[in-house]
Amino acid sequence: MNFSNKLFSIQKKSNSLLCVGLDTDPKKIPVHLRSKKNGVLEFNKQVIEATKEFASAYKINFAFYEVMGKNGWAIIEKTRALLPTSAISIADAKRGDIGNSSSYYADAILNKMEFDSITVAPYMGKDSVLPFLGNKNKGVFLLALTSNQGAFDFQYKKIGNKRLFEEVVTISQQWNTNNNLGFVVGATKSTDIRAVRKLASDVPFLVPGIGAQGGSVEDVIRHGCTNDGFGVLINASRSILYASSGKDFAEAARSEALKLNNEINFFRDKYF
């Protein structure tokens, strides 16, 4: 089954558009785990266990692990192994290089580490992205319109009558012969999410930027979903991971994931 269909099938079964972001910061996990040798892994394990009923995806942000050096890399591998098959795994690694190098990144992350999908940067064009799209079972979330302030520096610049992010979305879909391409579209960009959806009627969006970054769940659902009320993965990281700083962190993460998934589904019911 190609990646897009697999994601749709998982989301339908779990009735969830929620992606839990494992941006685990060793300095922010509860005190009783901070001093433990495998504290971060134990934290991830408990968060995964507590939230898996409400999550259709987990996203591991490599930045938070690379800062721990080779041990961090080992924690990524071990955390990946803990992810349930009931959810899609996303390597939030934002890779992208000339074709030859990209093929090594794709082999590392999609094959060897067995992630279902990866975030990829578009600046270097087709041959930098294709190696990640070669296996139809594995997906790419290409950066299109990101959630940060820096999105305004280049992504909104006009190329003819399109903005750069619209150009990226238009051009890159020509590479999507395996139906495994998606886009990163920031929740903070409100109605511009609709502009991307107009250009890409049925590809999945990975949507960061709710919570700490200020994006609205209602806007994402209303402007980002496909016509059937699917097609988006709404990521939440800090609000779930650090819902409590005490020993009840997993329970608190579960409550937060449930609450957010309910909010998402409330708006899906409202608009679809």
Question: What are the residue numbers of the active site?
Answer: 94
Tokens of 158: 């006009």
- Return the residue of 64, 141, 183, 249 that touches its own copies, per CB under 8 A: 64
- Return the residue of 5, 86, 148, 262 that touches its own copies, per CB under 8 A: 148
128 binds its own copies (CB under 8 A): yes
CA distance 91 to 172: 20
| Alpha carbon distances (Å) from 29 to 36, 70, 168, 171 | 11, 20, 37, 41
Tokens of 71: 């041990």
| Amino acid letter, residue 141 | F
CA distance 208 to 92: 11
161 binds its own copies (CB under 8 A): no
Instruction: Report CA Rg, the chain.
Output: 18
- Return the residue of 102, 117, 180, 261 that touches its own copies, per CB under 8 A: 102
- HSE-CB at 259 with a 13 A cutoff on CA atoms is 11
- Return the residue of 30, 42, 53, 94 that touches its own copies, per CB under 8 A: 94
Span from 12-20, 81-89, 147-155, 220-228 in contact with its own copies (CB under 8 A): 147-155
Query: Nearer Cβ to its own copies, position 124 or 258?
Result: 124
27 binds its own copies (CB under 8 A): no
153 binds its own copies (CB under 8 A): yes
CB 130 within 8 A of CB 97: no
63 torsion bin: left (phi>0), alpha (psi -120 to 50), beta (else): alpha
DSSP strands (E only) in the chain:
18-22, 57-61, 88-95, 117-120, 139-145, 158-159, 162-163, 181-185, 205-207, 232-236
- Return the residue of 159, 177, 266, 270 that touches its own copies, per CB under 8 A: 159
Tokens of 41: 């892994």
Smallest distance from the beta carbon of 256 to its own copies, in angstroms?
19
Span from 157-165, 198-206, 215-223, 251-259 in contact with its own copies (CB under 8 A): 157-165
> Under rule CB under 8 A, which residues in 166-225 are in contact with its own copies?
167-168, 171, 208, 213
34 binds its own copies (CB under 8 A): no
- Return the residue of 35, 81, 85, 150 that touches its own copies, per CB under 8 A: 150
- Return the residue of 12, 126, 198, 270 that touches its own copies, per CB under 8 A: 126
CA distance 188 to 208: 8
Query: Nearer Cβ to its own copies, position 16 or 23?
Result: 23
Q: Which residues bind its own copies (CB under 8 A)?
A: 23, 61, 63-64, 66-74, 77, 92, 94-99, 101-102, 104-105, 107-109, 112-113, 121-129, 143, 146-155, 157-160, 164, 167-168, 171, 208, 213
